[in-house]
């Protein structure tokens, strides 16, 4: 679900314990059963502002699924009903499950001590791209991997936009999941996980959960201390972060989290998208459409290739986060045309009548391909090609941005093989077959 700022801080790895209260999350223990005994909780997969998500075993199909358990307060239940409606439309139009969007399998209500929770049963996927970026120590993935991921996201967006008329409105690395976990031992299928069918003995009700939290908190604190020490060592030239191999990680992925999605002709929110992935027309309130998802896609693609967010605005003395964001966009993409700058309900808050920012006067222009070469050390030609893929999607004029379908035709997405790249060639062509391109 969308939150106005990214929940991407490295330390914030657990949901708030305080949110396990009336109207909030449902506390789950390993072995708990749901929907009349059909699904049995195995372990927690993740969480969001609205829900916790558990790996569950489906007795009926003898398979593993992801069980998304929504907070129970009315506004969360309302959002879940809407999400179920969108997910049902998505599943109805994708019977072959090939459109790179998560599949809804089932949904039901679950009554617990904190209230009634709507639950969604989803196909089980792996880690998010945010986790992949962190796993790779923000070093940037090689281009063939970025290409493969981009193709999946674009197939998903093309399906949503063109076939269903649905806008995701919160596309970001956190909401795109690899089809299988980074760590093969976490993959219930590959690791041949034996399902837990009943609650392990010796866990008392709330005590178990509280202990679990305290234990995790202590572990997290210890981890932070170790991380700080090794960071200091790294900055002193000792213990640099090891280069992690990404070989063997399947880069196929799917778009998830339709908690804030909407039908293009039934928009109900003025402010959409997580800050860093927010399109200029959303900041300016000039109206948005599918092209706003495309903007977030371009921000995500840049982040995959470099390990850094494309725009990370901050408020400062005398200017707001929005103004900084608009300044950063112009520094990278050139001056915003006056008509666009002045075309939104909020324009007057930021721009003068000449289309110049009121409070940030001096901009330092730095084009995307120069940035890729000078800051990220990309070879000139690769930087130019990647920039030629991204820049049109980052057009200030939403109607000029290419659609997902058009992006899929771009030459940058065609795999390039060098003499030394044969090992990848096989993997990629297998990947492509699976994608049915």
- Residues annotated as catalytic (active site), given as ranges: 170
Record the tokens describing residue 3, joined without a space: 């939150």
Record the tokens describing residue 173, joined without a space: 């690395």
State in Å, rounded, how far the first CA of the chain is from the last one: 30
Do 190 and 180 form a contact (C-beta atoms < 8 A)?
yes
Least distance from C-beta 174 to ligand ADP, angstroms? 5
- In which element (H, E) is residue 220 found? helix 205-235
Report the site for Mg ion in 35-54 (rule: CB under 5 A): 48
Q: How far apart, in whole angstroms, are the C-alpha atoms of residue 282 and residue 285?
A: 5
Choices 30-38, 83-91, 251-259, 359-367 (CB under 5 A): range interacting with Mg ion: 251-259
- In which element (H, E) is residue 147 found? helix 143-158
Give the residue with the Cβ less far from Mg ion, 257 or 322: 257
Choices 17-25, 151-159, 170-178, 293-301 (CB under 6 A): range interacting with ligand ADP: 170-178
Query: What residue 273 binds from Mg ion, ligand ADP, none (CB within 5 to 8 A, per partner kind)?
Result: none
Any residues with CB less than 8 A from the CB of 412 and at least 6 apart, and which? 147, 385, 386, 388, 389
Give backbone dihedrals phi and psi of 344, rounded to 5 degrees, phi first.
Answer: -110, 165
Do 144 and 249 form a contact (C-beta atoms < 8 A)?
no
Least distance from C-beta 209 to ligand ADP, angstroms? 18
- In which element (H, E) is residue 230 found? helix 205-235
Give the residue with the Cβ less far from ligand ADP, 130 or 340: 130
Least distance from C-beta 377 to ligand ADP, angstroms? 31
The residue number with the shortest CB distance to Mg ion is: 48
Give the residue with the Cβ less far from ligand ADP, 4 or 204: 4
Least distance from C-beta 174 to Mg ion, angstroms? 6
DSSP string across 356-370: -BSS--------HHH
Query: What residue 102 binds from ligand ADP, Mg ion, none (CB within 5 to 8 A, per partner kind)?
Result: ligand ADP
Any residues with CB less than 8 A from the CB of 51 and at least 6 apart, and which? 1, 25, 68, 69, 70, 71, 76, 80, 259
Report the site for ligand ADP in 253-282 (rule: CB under 6 A): 256-257, 259
Q: Which of 101, 124, 154, 283 binds ligand ADP (CB under 6 A)?
A: 124
Record the tokens describing residue 169, joined without a space: 């409105």
Least distance from C-beta 77 to ligand ADP, angstroms? 13
Give the residue with the Cβ less far from ligand ADP, 30 or 326: 30
Do 297 and 153 form a contact (C-beta atoms < 8 A)?
yes
Choices 203-211, 257-265, 361-369, 427-435 (CB under 5 A): range interacting with Mg ion: 257-265
Residues written for the chain: 437
Least distance from C-beta 233 to ligand ADP, angstroms? 30
Least distance from C-beta 426 to ligand ADP, angstroms? 27
Report the site for ligand ADP in 80-109 (rule: CB under 6 A): 102
Query: What residue 256 binds from ligand ADP, Mg ion, none (CB within 5 to 8 A, per partner kind)?
Result: ligand ADP
Report the site for ligand ADP in 31-60 (rule: CB under 6 A): 45-51, 53
Q: Does 257 bind Mg ion (CB under 5 A)?
A: yes
Give backbone dihedrals phi and psi of 103, rounded to 5 degrees, phi first.
Answer: -100, 130
R_g over Cα of the chain: 23
**Residue 3, by phi and psi: left (phi above 0), alpha (psi -120 to 50) or beta?**
beta
The residue number with the shortest CB distance to ligand ADP is: 48
Give the residue with the Cβ less far from ligand ADP, 257 or 303: 257
Q: Which residues bind Mg ion (CB under 5 A)?
A: 48, 257
Q: Which residues bind ligand ADP (CB under 6 A)?
A: 1, 45-51, 53, 66, 68, 102, 122-125, 128, 174-175, 177, 256-257, 259
């Amino acid at each position: 679900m969308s939150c106005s700022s990214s929940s991407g801080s490295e330390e914030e790895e657990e949901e708030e314990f305080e949110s396990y209260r009336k109207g909030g999350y449902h506390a789950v223990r390993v072995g708990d059963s749901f929907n009349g005994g059909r699904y049995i909780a195995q372990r927690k997969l993740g969480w969001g502002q609205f829900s916790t998500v558990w790996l569950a075993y489906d007795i009926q199909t003898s398979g593993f699924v992801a069980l998304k358990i929504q907070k129970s307060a009315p506004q969360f239940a309302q959002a879940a009903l809407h999400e179920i409606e969108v997910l049902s439309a998505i599943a109805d139009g994708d019977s072959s499950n090939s459109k790179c969007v998560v599949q809804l399998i089932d949904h039901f209500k679950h009554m617990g001590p904190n209230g009634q929770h709507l639950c969604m049963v989803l196909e089980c996927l792996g880690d998010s791209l945010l986790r992949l970026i962190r796993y790779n120590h923000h070093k940037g993935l090689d281009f063939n991997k970025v290409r493969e991921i981009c193709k999946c996201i674009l197939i998903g967006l093309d399906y949503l936009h063109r076939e269903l008329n649905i806008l995701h409105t919160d596309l970001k690395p956190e909401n795109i999941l690899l089809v299988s976990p980074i760590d093969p031992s976490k993959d219930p299928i590959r690791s041949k996980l034996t399902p837990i069918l009943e609650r392990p003995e010796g866990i008392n009700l709330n005590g178990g959960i509280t202990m679990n939290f305290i234990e995790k908190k202590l572990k997290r604190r210890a981890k932070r201390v170790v991380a700080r020490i090794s960071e200091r060592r790294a900055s002193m030239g000792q213990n640099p972060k090891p280069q992690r191999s990404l070989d063997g990680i399947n880069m196929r992925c799917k778009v998830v989290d339709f908690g804030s999605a909407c039908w293009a002709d039934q928009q109900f929110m003025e402010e959409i998208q997580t800050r860093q992935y927010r399109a200029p027309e959303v900041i300016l309130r000039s109206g948005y459409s599918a092209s706003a998802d495309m903007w977030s896609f371009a921000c995500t693609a840049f982040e995959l290739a470099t390990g850094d967010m494309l725009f990370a605005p901050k408020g400062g003395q005398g200017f707001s986060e929005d103004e900084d964001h608009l300044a950063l966009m112009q520094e990278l993409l050139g001056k915003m045309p006056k008509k666009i700058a002045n075309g939104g309900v909020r324009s007057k808050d930021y721009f003068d009548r000449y289309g110049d920012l009121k409070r940030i006067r001096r901009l330092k222009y730095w084009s995307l391909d120069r940035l890729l070469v000078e800051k990220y050390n990309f070879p000139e030609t690769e930087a130019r090609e990647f920039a030629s893929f991204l820049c049109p999607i980052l057009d200030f004029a939403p109607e000029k941005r290419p659609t997902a379908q058009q992006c899929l035709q771009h030459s940058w997405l065609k795999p390039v093989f060098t003499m030394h790249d044969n090992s990848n060639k096989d993997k990629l062509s297998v990947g492509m077959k699976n994608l049915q391109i």
